[in-house]
Amino acid sequence: MTRKYFGTDGIRGTVGQSPITPDFVLQLAHAVGRVLREKEKRPTVLIGKDTRISGYMLESALESGFNSAGVDVLLLGPVPTPAVAYLTRAQRASLGVVISASHNPYQDNGIKFFSAQGTKLDDAWEQAVEAALQQPPSWVDSASLGKARRLNDAAGRYIEFCKSTFASDLTLKGLKLVVDAAHGAAYQIAPEVFHELGAEVIAIGCSPDGLNINQGVGATHPEALVKAVREHQADFGIALDGDADRLQMVDAQGRLYNGDELLYLMVDDRLGRDEVVPGVVGTLMTNMAVEVALKKRGVAFERAKVGDRYVLEALEKHGWILGGEGSGHLLALDKHTTGDGLISALQVLQACVRSGETPASLLKDVALFPQTLINVRLKAGQAWQTPALAAAQHEVEQALGETGRVLIRPSGTEPLVRVMVEARDAQVAQQSAQRLADVLAAA
C-alpha cells in the first residue's frame, strides 16, 4: 500500500495547506486513536511540540481527535523531540506525538510519532493509520471519551535524563559554553542541562516568539554560534535545530565540526576506554575520511541511505550502537532510542574532558576529504542512467582507487541529478565531478 500522507519522518507541510490543517490533524488523531484501541482498551498518548505559533492550534486539534476516540492525552508543552521519545517510555504511555517541522521555517509544521518504546514506528503501523483515515469517524460514547492533563515537570524529568548520560565522575566546571537552541524546543532545557553539570553558559537563540524558530540561528545557521564563541572567548559552542535532535559544535578557535567529525569523536572516546565498537553506520554522504580512519582502527563501517531513519535501521540490523550523518543527527543507542542533539553534545564534551584534548587534536588523523557536488538539471523525460555515464563513472572510480569515491543520485524533490566526488586532492575532486556532470548534461 502506498502511503498518501506519511513521508520519511511523519507528516510535514506548510501550515494551512493540506495536510497541515486543524481539520485533518483532528481526523489523523482520531484515526491513530482507533488503531491504538484495537490493541489497548484505554491508551494514553503524550504530545510535545516546538515553539512554532501553529503548535497551539495543532495541539488542540490532536487533543480533540484523541479524546474523541477514547484516548487519554498527556500534554508536555514545548520540549525537544527526543524528550518525547524518552518520556513516552518513562511514562509507560502507548504513543508519543511530536508537533514540529524540525529545521524548517516557522511557516511549516509536522506531526511525527514514537512507539511505547520510544522508537520510530514501522511502515505497517503508518499504513494502518492511513487505512483508518479512509473510514468514517466512529466517536466513542460520552462516558468513554478521553481526558487531557499536563505533565508539569516534563522539562525537569528530561533534564535529569540528559545529565544521566554524562559520566558521573566528570564535570563541566571551568568550561564556558555558548548554547544556541535555534529559538526552538530546547530553549529552556539546553542551557539548564549544561549549567547543572557545572559549565558557565551563554545562551543565544533562546528567545522564541513563535515566528523566529531556526531564523539565522541554530544548527542550520552555525555562523551565529561561531561569532558568539569568538566574542565571548568560549571553550565550545553547541548549536541545536528547532526540535533539538540535530547538533553542530564549534571549538574555542571558532572552527565548526559537522556530524561526521562529531560521530568519530564519540567512537574515539569509547575506544579510548577500551570499549568494543564493532561497527558504525554513516550515510551515502558521510565523508570518506571518517570511513578510512575508522577502518584503520578496526571498526567496520556501513553506509545507509540519507536520513536518520535509515541509519537506525542499519544499526538495529547489525546490533551496533553508534551512527549518524553529517547534518548532525547522531545516534548512541546505549544512551537513547533516537537521535538527540543534547545527549550527543554531552558525549563529545565527555570525550574532550576525559582526554584533556581539543576536538582538533582528537581529529588530527581525520582530515576531511575535499568534496565537490554538482547538480545537473534534467530535461523533461530525460533518462540519465546511460552507458556513457556508467563508463565515465567506472573510469573515474578506477583512477581514484581508495583515495576517493563517486556518488551519483537523483534528487527526491527536483528534476536534478546530484554528482558528488570526494578525493584527497580538491582539484581531482573538482575535475572528476565536472567530467561526470558534462557527460550527464550531454545525454
Q: How far is CA 74 from CA 122, 293, 365, in A?
A: 23, 45, 48
Burial class (CB in 10 A: 0-12, 13-18, 19+), 354: middle
Give the CA radius of gyration of the chain.
23
Distance from the Cα of residue 359 to its chain's centroid: 22
Task: Tell me how far apart the 2 most distant CA atoms of the chain are, in Å.
Answer: 73
Helices (H), ranges, 165-258: 189-196, 223-232
- Residues 6 or more apart whose CB falls under 8 angstroms from that of 33 comprise 43, 45, 65, 66, 68, 69, 70, 71, 146
Nearest alpha carbon to residue 412 among 8, 40, 6, 116: 8
DSSP structural state of residue 205:
S
User: Residue 73: exposed, middle, or buried by beta-carbon count in 10 A (0-12, 13-18, 19+)?
Assistant: buried
Amino acid at 353: V
Of 16, 78, 393, 65, the C-alpha closest to 206 is 78
Contacts of 276 (CB under 8 A, 6+ apart): none
Cβ–Cβ < 8 Å for 291, 265: no
Which cell numbers in the block locate residue 159?
Answer: 533534564
- Determine the Cα–Cα distance for residues 82 and 280; give it in Å rounded to an integer: 21
Name the active-site residue from 94, 100, 102, 115: 102
In the 8-state DSSP scheme, what is residue 80? Answer: -
Q: Which residues contact 108 (CB under 8 A, 6 or more apart)?
A: 12, 13, 14, 15, 20, 101
Query: Is 142 designated active site?
Result: no
d(CA 30, CA 258): 40
Cell matching residue 4: 498518501
Catalytic residues: 102
